[in-house]
Amino acid sequence: MAADYWFSGTQEITGTGEILSADDIEIRTYQTRYSGIEGPWTVEAGVSWSEYGEDYAPIVSGEDTKLTEETIQADLSITRKWNESISGTLRFSAYDGFAEYRSIWTSEYYRQFFGDFEDYYSPDPHGHAFGASVDWDYLPGTGKAVFNFGYSRDEIAPGWSFNPEVGRPEPGRENLNTVSGSVRAEQVLAPWLKTGLNLTARKTTERSGRYGVANTWAASAGPLGFQINAGYTGESPSFNAVYASGLVEWNFLPQWSAYLGYRAYQDGGEIEASGFNSLAPAIESREIFGGLRWDRGDLAISGGVGFLSTDYEPLSEENEFFGNLYKDRDWVTFRLSASYRF
């Protein structure tokens, strides 16, 4: 009877938990997703919950504090398959809470510095996004291109600075609008070889456009699978990031596979857009990760662990008070996911 109330086509429920943990910072995210197919329509919805815990430790003045924050995010997408080669998707997502750990840290810095002024108020970060995409299977089964367009608006936790002319602190910009687009092309070159090219562009309020390119190759040989990826992202006047990764997967039993990967990343430091400088200096990071996957067809479970290290360049005098935020760390990542198709 339950099927009468749900979609008549394939449905899938997925649950995923992820952890990023260092000695003084931990992020936990739990996500559940549902997708269902009804004729040419596919509906997908997801809800995620994130928990942040940080041991705030000031460099110059202030007090050590244990920070905790929670963020909820939801998204919904509807896809219509028009014919054998074209489908279109509309997406909407929204979140309430901090979207990353760094702005929790910097917000505490501003609260300790300006919190006694009556003009100061606590941040209330939240945001939403709309998106649309077109999938074009230009060679069904072997060649595919995906065109994405997105718009998002974020109400952010602002930076604060003291204005001596009016004798009180004032917040910096409190919202950001972002327009983004991407094109991803995937091409099967042989029954054992596939490549993909991803081009991205993004424009955010008061910033120059950010452009990226990434190329991925995948191959299989018997029970082994290989994947390599390399990419570049640039933004005027001075942001440049390069990254690469390699992965080996071994299908050692009919339903079991294991994987081991390594990836590296470096950038030249974030760009100061305006006002107070809380931005990250240049960073180099690398991670070795591995995991197991069991896939019965309708039911699948995968789990993995990674060891990630981040090395920042020394901070300048302008932002040395964020030295404990941007210090070198060794992180451990965990990931566990299960899906059921019916």
Partner 1 sequence: MKKLFFLPLLAAVTACQPVGIADQARLSRPIFEFAGSGTRSYETSLSSQLETGRASSSNAAAGGCSSCH
Backbone angles phi, psi at 208, to 5 degrees: -75, 165
* 279 touches partner 1 by CB under 8 A: yes
- Which residues on adjacent β-strands are paired with residue 90? 78, 132
> Are 330 and 341 in contact, with CB atoms under 8 Å apart?
no
At closest approach, how far in Å is the CB of 226 from partner 1? 7
Residue 20 in the binding site for partner 1 (CB under 8 A): yes
Binding mask 110-149 for partner 1 (x = CB under 8 A): -------------x-xxxxx-x-x-----x-xxx----x-
Contact flag: residue 292 with partner 1 (CB under 8 A): no
Please state the closest distance from residue 29 (CB atom) to partner 1, in A.
Answer: 6
What residues from 153 to 172 belong to the interface with partner 1 (CB under 8 A)? 154-159
Q: In the range 24-63, which residues lie near partner 1 by CB under 8 A?
A: 27, 29, 33
Task: Report which of 46, 42, 141, 53 is spatially closest to residue 95, judged by C-alpha positions.
Answer: 46
Smallest separation, CB 4 to partner 1 (Å): 27
7, β-bridge pairs: none
**Interaction between residue 283 and partner 1 (CB under 8 A):** yes
- From the list 3-11, 79-87, 113-121, 241-249, the region that binds partner 1 by CB under 8 A is 241-249
Question: Nearer Cβ to partner 1, position 67 or 301?
Answer: 301
1 vs 128, beta carbon nearer partner 1: 128
Query: Please, which of residues 195-214 interact with partner 1 by CB under 8 A?
Result: 195-196, 198, 200, 202, 204, 207, 212-214
If one asks whether residue 249 binds partner 1 (CB under 8 A), the answer comes out as yes
Give how far Cα 281 sits from Cα of 140, 171, 226, 272, 318, Å: 45, 23, 33, 10, 11
Contact 278, 106 (CB under 8 A): yes
- Please confirm whether the linkage preceding 237 is cis (ω < 30° from 0): yes
Quote the tokens at residue 206: 């008061």
Considering the rule CB under 8 A, would residue 93 count as an interface residue with partner 1? yes
Closest alpha carbon to 249 in 281, 191, 295: 295
Annotate each residue in 295-334 with x if it binds partner 1 (CB under 8 A) or - if it does not, as one string.
x----xxx-x-x-x-x--------------------x-xx
Which of 102, 71, 123, 160 has the alpha carbon at shortest distance from 327? 102
Q: What single string gives the DSSP state of each residue in 208-246?
A: --EEEEEEEEEEEETTEEEEEEEEEEEETTTEEEEEEEE
* Segment (H or E) for 114: helix 101-114
Total number of residues that touch partner 1 (CB under 8 A): 115
Q: Applying CB under 8 A, which part among 3-11, 58-66, 78-86, 100-108 lies near partner 1?
A: 100-108
**Min dist. Cβ of residue 194 to partner 1 (A):** 5
